[in-house]
Amino acid sequence: MTRRVRIAAWAVLLALAAFQAYAQRFAIGPDGMAYLDLSDAVTSGAWGRLVDLYWSPLYPLLIGVARLVARAGAAGEVATIHAVNLAGFAVMLAAFDYMLMSILSLAAGVRGAALRGPMAAAGAYALFGVLALTMTPLELTTPDLFSDAAVLLALGALLRLRQSPSGGRRHAVVLGLALGVGALAKSFLVPWALVCFVTAGILAGRKGARDLAAGVVAWALVVVPWTAALSAKAGRPTFGDAGRLTYAWFVNLQDPPSMGGVPLGALTASTERLLPGVGVPGDSPYTDPMWTDPARFNTAVTPRFNVRDQLTTLEIFHVFYVENLAPLLFLILLVTTAPSGTRREAWRLGWPVYAPAIAGLFGYAMVLVTTRYVMPFVLAITLTLLATVPLARRWVPRNVLVGLLMLIGLEALLPETATGLVIVTAIIGGLLASVLVPARPRVAWMLTAVVALVVTRLVFPPAFPTLARAGAAAVVLLVWRASLAAVRGHRAAWFARRAEETVAFLLLVVLLFRLGIRFNQDAVALRRASSSTGGNLPWRIANDLAAAGISPGTRVAVVGPHAEAYWARAARLHIVASVPRNRVDAFWALAKPTQDSLLAEFHAAGATVAIATIGPPTGAPDSSWTPVKFRGWIRPLGPDSRQPR
């Protein structure tokens, strides 16, 4: 890889990431509000509050440090998170760079590997950029950029352990530190570390046992003290409750927060009698204790293994993988058309990546999957396959048919994957057109392939899955027939070369289209952030509430989604009672005396004012509620409360 390619890739990728971070500088989610609350442990010096059974400490620690360095107050703290995200992207890019060097070294020893040649490194960086900026966008106020960096670094260390035994101890220590620090970003990396260490143990053998031990010690020096602190807080051995709660919520479907309610531990007998389903968490140093401290309010939620629940979850995330990763499934075609005898060698060369990456994908599929969780595994598997599986000099028609049928079979099994089926069919349609056009100029057949892709996409829309399945089968059969004709006409080598180039080109088109959609969203966010009315909306609402006499530290009751009350964080308010989104209509439908009694219960819990972000379905509340500028209403609670201005 040339130094110029590396420098250019870093410059372009960091520039794109900086644009995305700046455009989304005011974006925040419920997790981001929780991490800001936890980062107060750094800014206030109350370091013990970083020891949390649900949230990992690395991200709030970095946010807190950044807030101190930038001297960011309430108006600038969300933008500070995105500055931390940009730093996280740079760390992830460095980790990818570390892994890529080993993958390119693998490819150099495989004759005919797709990831060889002057453009290989540029293509690898481009793939990283597309996947990273679309699957883990800097808009998200979550620690995934740092945990994904740890995964990439660990996989790179495993490859180096395989390739250079002489530096085994150094690579083992890098592996241990990556997994240890990564566990402070996401607790999933604690069990995943066991898979990595088993892989490293097989690679090291008896001769490398001491080197591996050094890596395990490096990991333990980070993870064991943190686990001890969590266990002391919980009063039982644990490395965190995130996995336990997530399994119970999303596999067993026990009171999942995605349903928009409040946790069982926040319910009280007095409020349940008046309106079931409202939360009264009481006083707390956090903005929204029900989400910032979920371990406290979900003690009744206990995970249980149930075969039916587990199979249902696996089916859901089978759909997720097949639908969202549709373009990359063409790697199946790369494998099925590979020269005879090379597939076993590809596994031998790449298994230190394949085994832990597949374990990671399966581990998330057992519980909960989002693109930001699985991005590093998908990226590593893709590049390692391109490095270890050689391109076929000739496409055997039988192998072509098997590969394409596997592709459309995965997408056609369920109606939920109709969109993925259409994407795959469109790419195959472009492939068919390109091999039927004898034009020699590269631009001609590339243009033909793109036009055919678009036409196929329009002819077989996902709204008609039966038609899409029939179209996919027809296109596959036509490609197979074309491959047979190429063999008979002694053009098999040309057919293979043209087909491989077309698939690579069309996958690039599809991925860049997805990146374009992503950056269009960022452009919209940039215009909104720069506007006089939409920019930093939580801070604007906080100022509006301050003008109405609601000062920092006020205990409030919220009628509306408590986890999305970002304005409460900006205004430094504390939510001590909540009518969640799914109970708002029922709240406004209460008789006036019952509603007043419920608000009196909220006042008894410490709330001095109620703030409604969602009004009655029929219009505005009665005159006891005062409207505020940014669509909302406030009402003082208690006999001694003054009417807000």
Mean pLDDT value across residues 597-621: 94
| Higher local confidence (pLDDT), 413 or 498 | 498
The pLDDT mean for the chain works out to: 92
What does the block give as tokens for 24?
Answer: 């989304």
Instruction: Please tell me the distance from the alpha carbon of residue 390 to that of residue 392, in angstroms, as a whole number.
Output: 6
Q: Which residues contact 202 (CB under 8 A, 6 or more apart)?
A: none
The one-letter code for the residue type at 479 is V
Report whether pLDDT(643) > 50: no
Query: What pLDDT, on a 0 to 100 scale, did the predictor assign at position 645?
Result: 38
Report whether pLDDT(165) > 80: no
Query: What pLDDT, on a 0 to 100 scale, did the predictor assign at position 56?
Result: 96
Query: What pLDDT, on a 0 to 100 scale, did the predictor assign at position 166?
Result: 67
Report whether pLDDT(259) > 90: no
Mean pLDDT value across residues 152-177: 90
Mean pLDDT value across residues 303-314: 92
Quick one: which of 483, 377, 374, 375 has its CA closest to 434?
483
Among 2-16, 78-92, 183-197, whose mean pLDDT is lowest? 2-16
Query: What pLDDT, on a 0 to 100 scale, did the predictor assign at position 531?
Result: 84
Tally Cβ neighbours within 10 Å of residue 348.
Answer: 10
Report whether pLDDT(640) > 60: no
| Higher local confidence (pLDDT), 531 or 429 | 429
pLDDT tens per residue, range 110-150: 998 989 877 899 999 999 999 999 999 999 999 999 999 99
| Higher local confidence (pLDDT), 316 or 291 | 291
Report whether pLDDT(511) > 70: yes
Alpha-helical (H) ranges within 75-188 are 77-108, 120-135, 144-163, 168-183
Helices (H) and strands (E) in the chain, counts: 26, 5
Instruction: Please tell me the distance from the alpha carbon of residue 222 to that of residue 216, in angstroms, as a whole number.
Output: 10
Q: What is the pTM of this model?
A: 0.94
Mean pLDDT value across residues 450-478: 92
Query: What pLDDT, on a 0 to 100 scale, did the predictor assign at position 191?
Result: 96
Query: What pLDDT, on a 0 to 100 scale, did the predictor assign at position 641?
Result: 45
Query: What pLDDT, on a 0 to 100 scale, did the predictor assign at position 113?
Result: 92
Report whether pLDDT(610) > 70: yes
Query: What pLDDT, on a 0 to 100 scale, did the predictor assign at position 280?
Result: 95
Quick one: which of 16, 28, 166, 177 has its CA closest to 90?
16
Q: How would you label 431-461 residue by residue, b for 16+ Cβ within 10 Å and e otherwise?
A: bbbbbeeeeeeeeebbebbbebbeebbeebe
Mean pLDDT value across residues 248-253: 93
Instruction: Please tell me the distance from the alpha carbon of residue 284 to that of residue 272, in angstroms, as a whole number.
Output: 21
What does the block give as tokens for 144?
Answer: 């995934």
Which SS3 state, helix, strand or coil, does residue 549 take? Answer: coil
The one-letter code for the residue type at 500 is E
Strands 632-636 and 609-612: antiparallel
Query: What pLDDT, on a 0 to 100 scale, did the predictor assign at position 281?
Result: 94
Q: How would you label 606-631 residue by residue, b for 16+ Cβ within 10 Å and e otherwise?
A: bbbbbbbbbbbeeeebeeebbebebe
Mean pLDDT value across residues 203-221: 90
Report whether pLDDT(53) > 90: yes
Report whether pLDDT(392) > 50: yes
Looking at the chain, the whole-number percentage of residues with pLDDT higher than 90 is 80
